[in-house]
Amino acid sequence: MLLPRMRNTSPTAAGPRSLVRRAAIAAAALLVAGPMAASAQAEPAAPGLPAELIAAITRDLRISPEQYLQRSDLAQQVAAFSATAQRQYPDLFAGAWLDESGQAIVALAGGPGIDAARKAVQDAGYTVKDVAKSETALRGEKNAFAKWLEGQPASVASQVRGVAVDTVNNAIAVRVDQGGLQLPGFAESARVIVMAAPPVAGEDTEVQRAADIASTGTGPIAAGDAYASIAGRMSLRCSTGFNGTDGSGAVVNITAGHCNPNIAATGGGNSPGVYELVNDRAGNQMGTFEKSILGNQDYSIVSIDNAFRDRFSNNLVRVPNAAPIAVTGVAVPVVGAPVCKSGSRTGFSCGTVNAVDQTVQVGDRLLTQSFSANICALPGDSGGPIVTGTLALGISSASSVADYPICEIPNLIGLLTGNTPQLFAQPVSVVLSDNPGLRVRTN
C-alpha cells in the first residue's frame, strides 16, 4: 500500500503541478541516462553491498559506496559521543550532525565549562561550532511551543503541521499550512517550513486471492519484499520490514502500523493476516498482526506462522528478487547521516537525515519521535526498511510525494525548486525500546 501523501515542504515550491509535464519529459530522459551514469560511478568492490544499492548510493548521494559506509559509521560514533556529551555538558551541548562533506560537527553554547567541553570535542576529532542555545534550551522551546499550540483556537492550531529541533540552524523548525502565521515571542527565531496541505491516507488496494496452494517458493523472505494484509474485504499492499524475534524467541517481522487494515481486531481470533504475493495476488498466509501501534508511533509486529519461520529467519534487506544486504546491528538517526530505504514498489533510494525526534501531522494524528530524510517513496513502500550503512534504522511511514506515479518526477521537481521529497520514518530503536525482548535479526 500506502504511504500517506504529504505535500510541499518548502515555501518556494507550493503548487509545483505546472512543472509536472516538463518534469515527466525530463524524467523519461533520466530513466535512460540514469543507470548508465550510476554504472560509471559504481564500485562493486564495496563489501556487502548489492549492485542495486550501490547504484542508488551513487545516483542519489553522489558518493562512493565506501564513503557511504564510512559516513554511516561516523554518524553512529557521533551519536554515542552526543549521548555522553549531553549528560556531561547539559547546558553547553547543542547537538551534532554530519555536514555536506561528511565531517562531524558538534555545536556548543557558551557558559561555564566551555573550555573543557571544547577540548572533549576536539580530542574526539570533531569540529566545534559555537551557537547561542543548548540542545536542552531548544527542546524547552519545542515543548513550550507545543503547550502554546494547545491553547490556540482551531483556526490557528490547524495550520501547524509539526515541530522539530533544528540542530543545524540552532532553532526550532515549525511546519505550517501557509505563510504568515504569528508565532509566539519565544519562537520568533524559528525556521518556518510551509507544508501546503496536510498528509492524508492513501487509498486501499484491492488484492485478489490466488489459489491457496500458490507460493513464491522456499527461499528467504527479506525486508523490502511485498506482502498483502487482509481483514475481511479490506486489503492493503505494503513492504516487509526487518526480520526479528520477540521476547519468547518467536520469529516476527517489524513493519508499519498503518499497514494493518483493522487495528481494532489485532491480537484476537480475527486478527488481520499477512499474505505472500504471487503475481500481485494474495497467496498463502505467512503470519498475523500480533501488535500494531498507529498514533504517535507507526509500527506493527507480525507473528510469523510456523510454515514460514525458516523463510523469515534471516537478516536480509533487498530489492525484491535481487541480491540482499545483511543487517549487522541497529542505529539511531543522526542529522546528515546517509540512509537508504528499500520498498517493494520503488526499490532502493537514498538520501540524508534532515530532522530527528520531530513531531509531524500525518492525516489526523501526530507522529512523534520520527525522523525524516530527503528520499522518494511511493504507495507500496510503506513498512519497508531504512538502513544506514548495514544497520537497521527505520520503517517507512509517510511520504510527501505519494501521489506521484514515479519518483523521477518529484525528484526532478526537487532539483528545479528545492522542494525535495520527504520520507518520514519510525525509528527502529524506539520500537525495540518500547517492546522489551524484541530484537532485529543480525545474523
pLDDT digits (tens, 9 = 90+) for 165-176: 999 999 999 988
Q: Distance between CA atoms of 419 and 5, rounded to whole angstroms?
A: 15
Q: Distance between CA atoms of 326 and 219, rounded to whole angstroms?
A: 15
Distance of CA 366 to the CA centre of its chain: 15
Which of the residues 239, 342, 382, 396 is marked catalytic? 382
Q: Is 382 a catalytic residue?
A: yes
Q: Report the percent of the chain where pLDDT is more than 90.
A: 64
Alpha helices (H) along 377-441: 408-417, 428-434
* Per-residue pLDDT tens digits for 88-120: 999 999 999 999 999 999 999 999 999 999 999
- CA 133 vs CA 19, 84, 155, 217: distances in Å: 40, 18, 31, 56
Q: What is the DSSP string of 149-177?
A: HHTS-HHHHTTEEEEEEETTTTEEEEEES
Q: Which structural domains are found in the chain, ordered by start?
A: 16-68+320-440 (2.40.10.10), 76-131 (3.30.300), 141-194 (no CATH), 208-315 (2.40.10.10)
Which of the residues 72, 258, 381, 400 is marked catalytic? 258
| 12 band by pLDDT with thresholds 50, 70 and 90 | very low
* Least reliable range by pLDDT among 37-46, 89-98, 319-328, 411-420: 37-46
Flag whether pLDDT at 36 surpasses 60: no
Buried b (16+ CB within 10 A) or exposed e, 15-31: ebeebbeebeebbeebe
HSE of 157 in the Cβ direction (CA atoms, 13 Å)? 11
Other CB atoms within 10 Å distance of the CB of residue 80: 11
Which of the residues 166, 225, 246, 298 is marked catalytic? 298
Compute the average pLDDT of residues 40-50.
Answer: 55
Rounded to 5 degrees, what angle do the CA atoms 298, 301, 303 make? 160
Q: Is 298 a catalytic residue?
A: yes
* Least reliable range by pLDDT among 187-191, 228-232, 327-331: 187-191
User: Could you tell me which of 344, 313, 318 has the C-alpha nearest to residue 218?
Assistant: 313
Flag whether pLDDT at 34 surpasses 60: no
Q: Is 155 a catalytic residue?
A: no
